[in-house]
Amino acid sequence: MSRITKLLIAGRGEIARRIMRTAREMGIATVAVYADSDATAPYVREAEEAIALRGATSAETYLDVAKILDAARRTGANAVHPGYGFLAENAEFARAVIDAGLVWVGPRPDAIAAMGDKLAAKKLMTEAGVPTLPAIEVTGEIGDQDHERAREVGYPLLVKASAGGGGKGMRVVTGEAELGEAVNGARREAAGAFGDDTVFLERYLETTRHVEIQVFGDQHGNVVHCFERECSVQRRHQKIIEEAPSPAVDAGLRLKIGQAAVAAAKAIGYDNAGTVEFLLDSEQNFYFMEMNTRLQVEHPVTEEITGLDLVREQIRVAEGDPLSFRQEDLRIEGHAIEARVYAEDPSNDFLPATGRLVAWDPDPTLPARFESGVETGSEISVYFDPMLAKVVVHAPTRTEAALRLANVLQRLRLHGVTTNRDFLVNVLRHDAFLSGDTSTDFIERQRPARERDVCEEEVRAAALAVALSAQLAHRAEASMLKTISSGWRNNPSMMQQVRCTHGGEDVIARYLRNRDGGFTYDVDGQSGAVRIIRSGDGRIELEIDGVQRTFSVVSVGLNHWVQGATGEVRLVEIPRFPEPEREEVAGGYLAPMPGKIVALNVEPGQTVSTGQVLIVLEAMKMEHRIICTEDGTVKEVRVEADAQVEAGQVLLVIDTGKEEA
């Protein structure tokens, strides 16, 4: 087979950058493709060439096979790497790439097809002697027979997209009344994310571990496994923390589950990188879930403990070379943990967030591996998955890896968009996590704090950092009277002040410059002395009451983000003049974020009850249900199906029969 000289990457964001890094090291030129909202993304700029796909949604861009192949033709690329997501596990796309005379950096199309149909895959794995859970396909509208078959599976059960992954197209169903809506929602989500709305029912095991095995095969019949990863800490069935090795897997179990994964791969003649996923119960019984016929999001933790470059191996195998290692060559070195940083609000049921990153700046003094798709100034849109980056730490022990990773995340300058960063820190420092007590219901069972607990002292220090940074900026901008010490007044009682809010509470920072160059301060009645040690490059070092602290301050308009050693404090300056208030409507239901109305379940005059799904909003490849919170009658419906809406927009109004206060 001919060598790859120019590689088109049929993906976006951090995985595109990851593949480019290895390709560049191998002397291979790269081609990026991009949707409209990704035009200024870092991966587009870093590729040798980039082709616009002319569209906004996944269907218009990254799922359009013809556009991807045309981009390869136009740029002279002789190979395609699918990354993950989108078309990565689409057998027809793989065949189209090969039929176009291009090298496909992935497994054979028939292997993808065999595992892509998860129902057929389960049957195949059973025949290969791999333990599986029973599953039943659901077709058409939910009827009596489907309810009967669901009872055979048993509640709670999982509705699962056959073509899916990454938590998309999945619903937990606890009783019959929920089944129809869960199936319909999973179908819509699966169709939007994967172009295939096939779903099936599977028994849901509430307290298990998610353990997966990295496998690798070549075109010469060699298949090895690269040990396990545990990915049990999840929300919405999507992983947020992954690690290798698993704290629950000993040498004996590792041998058994590794052999099962290799048997699964050999059953379909697998070549290239893949992952066999299992559920592991408390008795160390494991059950096949699915096989992902692609590179996984969490592959870096395997690379960190084995020293392998899995992308390099993918490219070499695609070129026809045998694997560069054998099973007996592999050893586990230390422990690696990866955290996925998402633009989302943990305190609001992990609802995805949008906006512009006003700062993205890892602390260079804390070594870590950052796989990011963003930079300062990046826009987080509604069209794609809101993952910003994966942050990975490798250490001699699991505890050290967890605590170091928490420190790295805590010190990361990440401002402008609501994220799960503080939640991840709380998980990593949680006693149950540190003891290895992880399972797929970890978040529900252990309930780690969704937000960081910011103490009053931190808020005071942040307010002083904002006030004194502004004082320095104003002084630097002054064009007159530069010889007068900034902040000095003839009347010592006239303190300068900055009025802000933090968490809905007013914070007033007052300061007065002393003749010795220091300042006297008062923050909400707490007074003392503060001195500026040094400043520059957006950072300010203060000595507050004899204690030195360093902060970075990023300000955009009235918003100030202060990053210290313990994390971020956001302060919003109170404007001199009040701003117009957002429209408030009694009984109004608002859009929680920008998105598209995919289901409008009510009409004016209809009686509704608490818990009823009124509207389904699609954003970032996920569905979000607008639920009725109080019995009443639909007074107004202000949107239509398929309409695009903005965050905070009134969608409908419910008359509850109560008089307005």
Q: What is the DSSP letter of 463?
A: H
Number of other residues whose CB lies within 10 A of the CB of residue 568:
24
List the one residue out of 341, 312, 472 whose CA is nearest residue 413: 341
627's CB contacts (< 8 A; 6+ apart) are 611, 612, 613, 614
User: Both ends of the chain: CA-CA distance in Å?
Assistant: 76
Positive or negative torsion for Cα 111, 116, 117, 119? positive
**β-sheet bridge partners, residue 24:** none
Phi-psi region of 140 (alpha: psi -120 to 50; beta: other; left: phi over 0): left
Residue that the structure tokens 């861009």 belong to: 61
Phi, psi of 359 (to 5 degrees): -155, 135
The three-class DSSP label of residue 581 is: coil
Kind of pairing between the strands at 355-356 and 223-235: unpaired
Strands 539-544 and 526-536, how do they pair? antiparallel
The order of strands in the sheet holding 135-138 is 135-138, 199-203, 157-161, 170-173
Contact 440, 234 (CB under 8 A): yes
User: What are residue 570's DSSP bridge partners?
Assistant: 561
Cβ neighbours of 110 (radius 10 Å): 12
132 DSSP 8-state letter: B
Share of the chain residues as helix, strand and coil, in percent rounded to the nearest 5? 25, 35, 40
Q: Is 361 left (phi over 0), alpha (psi -120 to 50) or beta?
A: beta
Residue 429 known to be catalytic: no
**Residue tagged 């029912």 (tokens):** 201
| Cβ atoms of 553 and 561 closer than 8 Å | yes
C-alpha torsion angle, residues 485, 489, 493, 499 (rounded to 10): -70
The active-site residue out of 294, 421, 460, 510 is 294
The answer to whether residues 10 and 86 touch, using CB atoms and an 8 Å cutoff, is: yes
- How far is Cα 182 from Cα 304, in angstroms, rounded to an integer? 39
The kind and range of the H/E element at 507 are strand 505-513
Cα gap 49→29, rounded to integer Å: 9
Which residue in this structure is represented by tokens 């969704």? 450
CA dist., res. 353 & res. 481, Å (int): 45
Taking Cα atoms as reference points, which of 465, 464, 448, 380 lies closest to residue 414?
380
Task: Name the token pair of 25.
Answer: 């090291």
Instruction: Enter the tokens of residue 606.
Output: 């209809």
Residue 426 near residue 446, CB atoms below 8 Å: no
Provide the annotated active-site residues. Answer: 294
